[in-house]
Structure 1
């Protein structure tokens, strides 16, 4: 693609969460610190909420990678599961070998026994649930019951939920008010500020191997922030498309017009479209159509 043209080792603006690109700017570092402190304090429930694309999954992976060896982590990326299926998924994450037709009582008993064994070994078990807003109310209630498993001194299982704002609304329901009361630590992850976004772009380029002079000029950064609102996923998509356009013209600098064209080609950014009198009309479509690059990157 454009790696050689810009002197890059890898693509800097992929949308797959990669902890090597994690940026410790103010809100992300605060969120990570909240998670680490809560985990070490042994809190039963921890919640991180934020809009689509702000980096919750990346934060989750960075958090798990930052834990020391005293923690055993279980990760469930899509918890849209009935209570029993969630219990089975947790058992699988804890490497429990169970009969296919194990009943509910034996399932809970086996999980409890495994947690006790790990506690005696000095381990803390932490369950991370991504996309937690998708969990049925009955499954959320089953999670609360899981946190009742404890020794005389601490919880046997800590649960961290990462979800969109819909999770907050779901937790306000009267039927699961007990769970909501047990959330001891909460952090709302917002978009990047303009200054943080500028640092974010430079950071990702640096991690990807870029060593040249400023690649996105000030006009491009201003346009990128206006088009993305500081949402990292949108920043990545627009920056990637802008690099493609500059590469297609053989240019070595990203200007505002490339960002404007990228925004017009990106549905999520169209509401923020910039009022440019000119744009690279059809350039992105022609570039993609005229190459064998493929567009599965943005699936």
Structure 2
């Protein structure tokens, strides 16, 4: 739907897509990403990154992966629903080992070989809170592989706060003891959230005055409460509502429509009565133009 309003507002990219795109990364002037990057190349133990749904974890991990030194070989597991017997084999195959003999011992030999050649291996597991406990225990065993000076593999566990709860259980004590760095993504403060929205608009090609009125921005910030994904969803649908009404600035009214629509299906949403007539008119005019030049 975002593509409907791009030309109308003079934008080159969808400013509020919920697809994680490192080009839109906003650090708010903090050193969070630098601190995370530092922790991930120390090879001292497990790094833990947690945050609520929609806090920007996946985007942060993609930015992290793009900024790692060239000497780091990465294994990224976005959906780690693997058993204890599967997790090591999956990592081994991702590092190029054959399907035969991909157990922990074979993986250790490969890690040593890469270490001798000046390579570092990092395994980043997203949605780690969904992992079975025995699979996490196997990851702990993997993190035990080391030389006299450093770990042979750097483990990063990324997930929702349930991951903290899981690791706090007595059964996970040994895993918990291996965690050397903990990072927690929190909701953005109000001022930072406003800067976040304006940053994304600039990246998307907006260089004029405020696209959201003061009242619209206030209502959006109040509802989203600093949650990145909700900020994006409401801002995107607010622009869509303004476009559908032929307005060049988003008002509080448009934000209200968007808030009511978030989490519903477009086909039965309050935006439908605005969007589909506009889309139909656009399609009709395009069809007539094509017919005219036949």
Q: TM-score under structure 1 normalisation?
A: 0.87
Question: What is the match of residue 256 of structure 2?
Answer: 260
Report the 3-state secondary structure (helix = DSSP H, G, I; strand = E; otherwise coil) of the residue aligned with 1:53. coil
Report the 3-state secondary structure (helix = DSSP H, G, I; strand = E; otherwise coil) of the residue aligned with 1:54. coil
How many angstroms does 1:189 deviate by? 0.4
Kept in 2, the 8 Å contact 1:54–1:191? The answer is yes
Kept in 2, the 8 Å contact 1:31–1:189? The answer is no
**Which whole-Å CA distance do the structure 1 matches of 2:17 and 2:93 have between them?**
30
Question: What is the match of residue 272 of structure 2?
Answer: 285
Kept in 2, the 8 Å contact 1:54–1:231? The answer is yes
Question: What is the match of residue 15 of structure 1?
Answer: 18
**Which whole-Å CA distance do the structure 2 matches of 1:161 and 1:220 have between them?**
38
**Which whole-Å CA distance do the structure 1 matches of 2:109 and 2:164 have between them?**
32
Report the 3-state secondary structure (helix = DSSP H, G, I; strand = E; otherwise coil) of the residue aligned with 1:262. helix
Which sections of structure 2, spanning at least 5 residues, go unmatched?
283-294
How many angstroms does 1:33 deviate by? 2.2
Q: CA RMSD in A?
A: 1.6
Whether 1:182 aligns to 2:178 is: yes
Larger radius of gyration between Structure 1 and Structure 2 = 2
Select the residue among 222, 228, 232 that pairs with 2:224: 228
Whether 1:77 aligns to 2:78 is: yes
**Which whole-Å CA distance do the structure 2 matches of 1:94 and 1:217 have between them?**
51
How many angstroms does 1:79 deviate by? 0.9
How many angstroms does 1:98 deviate by? 2.2
Q: For 1:1-299, list aligned pairs within 5 A.
A: 1-26=4-29, 29-99=30-100, 102=101, 107-267=103-263, 284-290=271-277, 291=279
Runs ≥4 in structure 1, deviation > 6 angstroms? none
Kept in 2, the 8 Å contact 1:32–1:63? The answer is yes
**Which whole-Å CA distance do the structure 2 matches of 1:283 and 1:152 have between them?**
63
**Which whole-Å CA distance do the structure 2 matches of 1:42 and 1:229 have between them?**
36
**Which whole-Å CA distance do the structure 2 matches of 1:216 and 1:92 have between them?**
49
Question: What is the match of residue 274 of structure 1?
Answer: none
How many angstroms does 1:288 deviate by? 3.7
Kept in 1, the 8 Å contact 2:237–2:258? The answer is yes
The C-alpha deviation readout for 1:63-89, integer Å capped at 9, x for no partner, is: 111111121111000112101221122
Q: TM-score under structure 2 normalisation?
A: 0.89
Kept in 2, the 8 Å contact 1:44–1:147? The answer is yes
